Structure 1
Amino acid sequence: MTDSQAAAAAKAPRTPRGGKRERLVEAAVRVFHEKGVEKTTLGDIAGAADVPLGNVYYYFKTKDQLVEAVVAAHHAQLVALTAQLEELPDPAARLKALIAGWVDQRETAARFGCPFGTLTTELDKRDDGLDESAAKVMRALLDWTAAQFTALGRPDAPALAVELVAAYQGMSVLTNALRDPDLMTTQGHRLQTWIDTLR
């Protein structure tokens, strides 16, 4: 999940407490981002969700099942975000709003990196198929981005989509490594200016 997806999720209306399963998944999204999957225990998730540890096993028999739920949550956030962006008047505005959402989350990126990018990288080191599930979410972001470039009349839309998403992931890594949120601000502005040149 991108930082802008996290921002959209944070702004989405929620019930005061939500169901236990929803709270566990929401907590897992946050804790996996902050600590990584391998360093996170089910006890960590239970504590962050304010749910007794024994209840975790009612919803998720294994940590891998919880990871699957987190990947699905990232996908749902992406679907919600892109639906919201589709309300904007033109594809360039949608792409620039996507970039603005990434920049808005620069403080989080400086501390922990991209929520979904870091998860995808971690899952890639495993051989249990969860990396393929994560790749589908990243592919969905690329497909949506390519559709915007296609709507701009660009015959090279797929390549431009890769360039944009790769630029975001790169600036997210650098922002995190250097603990410099201003880097994301500067690079985000550069990307928005780049979008304007493609009309």
Structure 2
Amino acid sequence: MAKTTKGEQSRIKLIECAAKLFLQKGYNATGINDILASTDLPKGSFYFHFASKKDLAISVAEYFEKKFLGWAVKTSKDKSWNEFITDLIGEMIKGAENGKHYGCPFAVLGLEIAFSDEDLSECYYNSMKKLIDIFASIFEYSGVPKEEKYALANRAFAIYEGYLVYYRLGKDVDILRTMLKDLIKVYDDFNMVK
């Protein structure tokens, strides 16, 4: 594995710090100076790696996509919907119990910039579509016919995002537990009907 240079380490540090602050405080409430203060990097370091805050936000979207969607793909391997969603929501519950879960990064940031920045909005929207694709593939693995997997994936995604917004506002971990029950019910109800 290749060693990362000092410059690459600074870039990664800026992205990871911005990701955390954007998710906690929001994109608009986080300034470049906030990010720099959290990283102890000079302002020139920021502008060496990113032309603007928007440029950084695009890298943050890629970071969340690689981190979260990569984890979801890896976790879903050879698992049924109920096994996968139990693992996924279980991780969220652990994070929430430790005060480290802030909701879905794609929805949180996407909603904030949806009407103010079309390019950023599209980045987060495309990541959400990839999550729906993952849901659809897990449903297909679980025995849902190909022609029905996206209808079920979209329904599950709407439930998932709705509860995560609800959790973000209320900060009540029981909301995540209820979400898990409802997401399992989506698949169980489908199996009862077929």
Question: Which category of TM-score, normalised to the shorter sequence, fits these structures?
Answer: 0.7 to 0.9
Following the alignment from structure 2 to structure 1, what is the Cα–Cα distance between the partners of residues 160 and 69? 19
Deviations 1:95-120 (A, max 9, x none): 33223233333357897443221111
Task: Give the Å deviation of 1:137.
Answer: 0.5
Following the alignment from structure 2 to structure 1, what is the Cα–Cα distance between the partners of residues 150 and 64? 22
Normalising by structure 1, we get a TM-score of 0.80
Match for 2:71 among 74, 81, 87?
Answer: 81
CA contact (8 A) 1:60 1:66 kept: yes
What amino acid maps onto 1:183 in structure 2?
A: I
SS, match of residue 84 in structure 2: helix
Structure 1: stretches of 5+ with no match in the other structure = 1-14
Following the alignment from structure 1 to structure 2, what is the Cα–Cα distance between the partners of residues 38 and 60? 17
Task: Give the Å deviation of 1:121.
Answer: 0.6
Task: Give the Å deviation of 1:84.
Answer: 1.9
Partner residue of 2:38? Answer: 48
Following the alignment from structure 2 to structure 1, what is the Cα–Cα distance between the partners of residues 19 and 42? 18
RMSD of Structure 2 on Structure 1 (CA): 2.6
Asked if 1:178 corresponds to 2:182, the answer is no
More moved, 107-116 vs 131-140: 107-116
Partner residue of 2:144? Answer: 154
After superposition, where does 1:132-147 map in structure 2 within 5 Å? Answer: 132-147=122-137
Between 1 and 2, higher relative CO (CA 8 Å, sep ≥ 6) is seen in 1
CA contact (8 A) 1:109 1:172 kept: no
CA contact (8 A) 1:110 1:180 kept: no
Task: Give the Å deviation of 1:152.
Answer: 2.0
After superposition, where does 1:7-86 map in structure 2 within 5 Å? Answer: 19-86=9-76
CA contact (8 A) 1:106 1:185 kept: no
Following the alignment from structure 1 to structure 2, what is the Cα–Cα distance between the partners of residues 147 and 97? 16
Give aligned-pair identity as a percent. Answer: 27
Asked if 1:169 corresponds to 2:158, the answer is no
Normalising by structure 2, we get a TM-score of 0.82
Deviations 1:9-51 (A, max 9, x none): xxxxxx9x98000000000000011111111111111112221
CA contact (8 A) 2:15 2:63 kept: yes
CA contact (8 A) 1:110 1:178 kept: no
More moved, 103-112 vs 183-192: 103-112
| Number of positions where the alignment pairs a residue of Structure 1 with one of Structure 2 | 184
More moved, 85-94 vs 125-134: 85-94
Task: Give the Å deviation of 1:178.
Answer: 2.3
Match for 1:189 among 181, 188, 192?
Answer: 181
CA contact (8 A) 1:114 1:172 kept: yes
Deviations 1:164-198 (A, max 9, x none): 12112111122222232222223323423544454
More moved, 157-166 vs 141-150: 157-166
